[in-house]
Amino acid sequence: MVTVTDSTQRRTPKAAKTNSVFKKAVMAISGIILVLYLIAHMIGNLKAFAGAEDFNHYSHWLRTIGNPALPGATALWLIRIVLLVAVVAHIWAAVSLWRQARRARPERYVTKKAVAQSYASRTMRWGGVIILAFVIFHILDLTLGAVNSAGSDGEPYDRLLASFQNPVVTIFYAVAVILVGMHLRHGIWSATQTLGQSNRRRELTVNYTATAIATVLTVGFLLTPFAVLFGLID
């Protein structure tokens, strides 16, 4: 089966500190947390169609969940902490596996033809980097208002309008959301596979479900900014 022709060099390979499949499981579970958050976030965004009052009321509710049992914005901060941990874990696993992959093939092929990989799976890494850059901008823009002076934390409707009435912001947002959609298209399938829940019989269903969730989220997230841009919401 395998060569025993020469024994010039038995490398002592750098031992991987953490099991690569464990890293993938961390990636999968943190990814699932983020997808669940995205679903809730998208539903929240769509409240913009219900008008300023409903939208701001929703925002106010987020800051008072569990009151008075939980003081102030405790619940919101708990959600933010969980998300932050998930994002850090997701990035740690991704960077670590990315570096492992680079070490695993130091010399590239002169000619390499992809047969099975999808555009989504090919853009997971750089797509992820762009999504991260977007998320940082997005928080500065709409959460902190650092690059957006309109509205306030408690009354974000005006902030939403100010942001998306600017076509540049809307286009950046759209590109990022489409990248998120593709990221999820491969990510949901990959997470199912990583957590050992896929098999030949389920493979097609898993892939269709991944496409469906990715499409619904992409469309759902794009509706609000474009409605603002085209003046359907004001």
The span from the CA of 184 to the CA of 52, in Å, is 30
Q: Pick the closer one to other proteins by CB: 117 or 149.
A: 117
- 107 forms part of the interface with other proteins (CB under 8 A): yes
List 45, 104, 123, 175, residue binding other proteins (CB under 8 A): 104
- 23 forms part of the interface with other proteins (CB under 8 A): yes
What are φ and ψ of residue 48, in 5° steps?
A: -60, -30
Window 169-198: contact mask with other proteins (x via CB under 8 A):
-----------------x--xx-xxxxxxx
The size of the chain, in residues, is 234
Q: Pick the closer one to other proteins by CB: 162 or 180.
A: 180
- 204 forms part of the interface with other proteins (CB under 8 A): no
- List Cα–Cα distances, 51 to 34, 153, 181, 212, 215, in angstroms: 27, 17, 27, 28, 25
Contacts of residue 220, defined as CB under 8 A and 6 or more positions apart, other chains included, come to 42, 43, 45, 46
Residue 87: closest CA among 46, 26, 138, 130: 26
Q: Could you tell me how many residues of this chain bind other proteins (CB under 8 A)?
A: 55
Q: Pick the closer one to other proteins by CB: 149 or 201.
A: 201
The span from the CA of 170 to the CA of 161, in Å, is 11
The interface region with other proteins, picked from 32-40, 74-82, 116-124, 224-232 by CB under 8 A, is: 116-124
Q: Pick the closer one to other proteins by CB: 64 or 118.
A: 118
